[in-house]
């Protein structure tokens, strides 16, 4: 049961509009019965509502000629995409295959990759890398870079000009080999 003191003018308005549940509606009805101010406000709300409803302003006139109005609607309809559910002539386009990367995009990561491989071939001939962990490939240190701009390779860093590249470095002392795996993140 709603507390009488919790009833607000909005509740009274909802009662006048017939929008309250039966329990609250009864509570408001009781209040209106015994409170002249609530009764006066309810009456005002009802009068105003009927005044507005019964004197709805005439619709604003169309500011253009009907022919022009219809012509614009027709244009809009013609611009619509055919709806496959309703248009039997609708021939759905083939599903779009992923767009192959343009040559310039391939070059963007191919050149740094070639540079990295060249370094890999060249560095072992100059010095023995310090093996972080002897063992197999499984023991190797993998160093995925966070910002994809720097490849860390056993104490050496290779700057890559492309921010869309991820790298992974493996070192195997057993095989005396370091493998740098470069991947294009934005092509994945």
Q: Look at residues 166, 121, 168 and name the one whose alpha carbon lies nearest to residue 141.
A: 168
* Residue 125 binding other proteins, by CB under 8 A: no
Q: Which stretch binds other proteins (CB under 8 A): 42-50, 126-134, 166-174, 180-188?
A: 42-50
Binding span for other proteins by CB under 8 A among 53-61, 106-114, 134-142, 176-184: 53-61
By CB under 8 A, tell whether 41 contacts other proteins.
yes
Give the range of 14-22, 106-114, 163-171, 176-184 binding other proteins by CB under 8 A: 14-22
**Is 89 one of the binding residues for other proteins (CB under 8 A)?**
no
**Alpha-carbon gap, residue 14 to 157, rounded angstroms:** 73
Least distance to other proteins from the beta carbon of 92, Å? 17
* In the block, residue with structure tokens 């063992």: 135
Examine residue 76 and tell whether it contacts other proteins (CB under 8 A): yes
Q: Pick the closer one to other proteins by CB: 42 or 116.
A: 42
Stretch that binds other proteins, among 5-13, 91-99, 140-148, 149-157 (CB under 8 A): 5-13
Coil, helix or strand at residue 107? helix
**C-beta of residue 98 within 8 angstroms of C-beta of residue 120:** no
Kindly tell me which residue out of 1, 23, 65, 86 binds other proteins, with binding defined by CB under 8 A.
86
Buried residues in 122-141 as b, exposed as e (16+ CB within 10 A): ebeeeeebebeeeeeeeebe
Q: What is d(CA 127, CA 106) in angstroms, rounded to the nearest whole number?
A: 32
CB atoms within 10 A of CB 142: 11
The Cα-based distances of 134 to 110, 112, 117, 175, 179 in angstroms read: 30, 28, 22, 10, 15
Q: Which is nearer to other proteins, 79 or 126 (CB)?
A: 79
48 contributes a contact to other proteins by CB under 8 A: yes
Residues of this chain that bind other proteins (CB under 8 A): 5-19, 25, 29, 32, 35, 37-38, 40-64, 66, 69-70, 72-74, 76-77, 80, 83, 85-86
């Amino acid at each position: 049961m709603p507390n009488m003191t919790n009833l607000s003018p909005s509740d009274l308005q909802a009662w006048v509009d017939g929008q309250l549940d039966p329990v609250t509606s009864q509570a408001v009805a009781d209040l209106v019965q015994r409170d002249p101010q609530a009764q006066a406000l309810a009456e005002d709300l009802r009068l105003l509502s009927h005044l507005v409803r019964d004197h709805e302003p005439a619709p604003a006139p169309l500011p253009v000629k009907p022919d022009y109005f219809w012509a614009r609607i027709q244009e809009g309809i013609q611009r619509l995409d055919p709806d496959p559910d309703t248009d039997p002539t609708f021939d759905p386009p083939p599903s779009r295959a992923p767009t192959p990367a343009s040559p310039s995009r391939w070059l963007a990561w191919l050149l740094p990759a070639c540079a990295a491989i060249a370094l890999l071939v060249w560095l072992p001939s100059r010095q023995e890398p310090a093996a972080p962990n002897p063992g197999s490939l499984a023991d190797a240190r993998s160093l995925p870079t966070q910002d994809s701009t720097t490849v860390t390779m056993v104490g050496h860093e290779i700057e890559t000009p492309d921010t869309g590249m991820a790298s992974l470095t493996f070192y195997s002392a057993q095989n005396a080999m370091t493998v740098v795996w470069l991947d294009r993140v934005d092509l994945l």
